[in-house]
Amino acid sequence: MRRINLAGIALNLVLAAVLPVAAGAQQMESHVGKLTGHSDAGRQLYYRYCWGCHGARGNGDGENAPYLNILPRNFVIGAFKCRSTPTGTLPVDSDLYNTLKRGINFSNMPNWSALTDQQRADLVAFIKTFSPRWKTEKPGDPIQIPAEPALSVASIKHGSELFQKLECWKCHGQEGRGDGPSASTLTDSNDQPIRPYNFTSDNRSKCGRTNQDLYKIFMTGLDGTPMPSFADVIKPEDAWDLVHFLRTLQYNNKSPELALWMSTKEGAEIVNAKKVENTYTGSGVKP
């Protein structure tokens, strides 16, 4: 009992010392729609909700970090996966806000939709106090997402060709299961092994579930991971074709893309060959 108490007091003192140092050095605001977030208010929220993983200094070394197989984001570096801005640039406030609201699938980051809008905005403001980049740089300009073209079999087929041409399969595997030949070699910016996204497991990507979210991912890249930006490699219309094809890999998701693809003889054969009936993993998810 005494050990617990002393350890607690020590930890408390450390936090009391570190948090103001880490956060009190500057005031930040965030602006999301009509909301204005304040770092002062966000500090208490961070201490309540986030500190255990992201650490008192925001550098991702919270007490739980050693137990997580995807390390928490290091806010000091200022590199974020889910952005609407070009690779290498800071995200806009709404990017961080949306990440808080949505969570990051396939990681320990839950969605914080239970918080109020104002609380999320306050947290965004506080998170920005950790990195010196926010003092010296401005966020990147959000990329322009052209209107999604009409879905067609030709679009899906072209997307399939791009999947081969861009060598997406090297990481994600030919069937999109995240088991490509390079998969086992990949590491993130923390030098931790990272697994490519398995399209067959869910209809949610790390940064959202809509087609626009998917489009953004390979046009902006996921900074801090091996997933690069393809903005300089493919044209916007090609990117949409790739989106349409990737949706067909999510054969547990009843998407229009999959339905259209399954309506063709070729598509039906490919998709049905991938399915493994009556086999469940412990997670209850059909592989």
Partner 1 sequence: MDVRGGSGVNRMANRPVTTLLYVAAVLVIFLSTCSPASALPAFARKYGMPCSSCHEAWPKLSPFGQQFKDNGYQMGNDRDAPIFQNPAYWPVTFRMTPYWHRESTDKAAVDQTASGEAQVTTHGFDWSGLDFHTAGTLANNYSFYVLPSSDNTGAFHFESVWARVDNIAGSSWLNIKFGKFELDNLLSEKRILTLSPVGGFYENYHFQPFLTPGNRESSYTFGIGDNQDGIEWMGHSKNDRTRISAALISDNDGTPGLPTNRGYGGFFAASQAFQLGSMGLQRVGGFAYIGQQPTYFQYTTGGAGIPGTGIGNQRIYRVGLIGMWYLKKFDITTMYFHSGDNGTLASTTALTGAPPPPPSVTGARSPSWNGGLFESHYNLNPQLILINRYELVRMSQQVFATNPGNLGNTDTLTFGLRYYPFISSRAGFAYHAEYAISRIRGGSPVTFTDVTSSSLLGGIDFDF
Interface residue list for partner 1 (CB under 8 A): 1, 4-5, 7-9, 11-12, 15, 41, 44, 47-49, 51-53, 62-65, 67-68, 103-119, 202, 281-285
Which C-beta is closer to partner 1: that of 106 or that of 169?
Answer: 106
- Contact residues for 277 (Cβ-Cβ < 8 A; gap 6+): none
Least distance to partner 1, CB of residue 198, Å: 10
Which C-beta is closer to partner 1: that of 27 or that of 164?
Answer: 27
CA angle 221, 224, 225 (to 5 degrees): 65
Least distance to partner 1, CB of residue 137, Å: 29
Which C-beta is closer to partner 1: that of 53 or that of 92?
Answer: 53
Least distance to partner 1, CB of residue 118, Å: 5
Closest by CA to 243, choosing from 145, 138, 98, is 145
- Contact residues for 196 (Cβ-Cβ < 8 A; gap 6+): 171, 172, 173, 178, 179, 180, 183, 186, 226, 227
Least distance to partner 1, CB of residue 19, Å: 10
CB atoms < 10 A from the CB of 194, how many? 22
Q: Where are the alpha helices (DSSP H) in the chain?
A: 2-24, 39-49, 51-54, 93-102, 117-127, 133-136, 153-165, 169-172, 211-220, 236-249, 256-262, 265-274
Least distance to partner 1, CB of residue 107, Å: 6
Which C-beta is closer to partner 1: that of 156 or that of 183?
Answer: 183
Indicate the angle between helix axes 153-165 and 236-249, nearest 10 degrees: 90
Least distance to partner 1, CB of residue 195, Å: 12
Which C-beta is closer to partner 1: that of 53 or that of 162?
Answer: 53
Which C-beta is closer to partner 1: that of 2 or that of 265?
Answer: 2
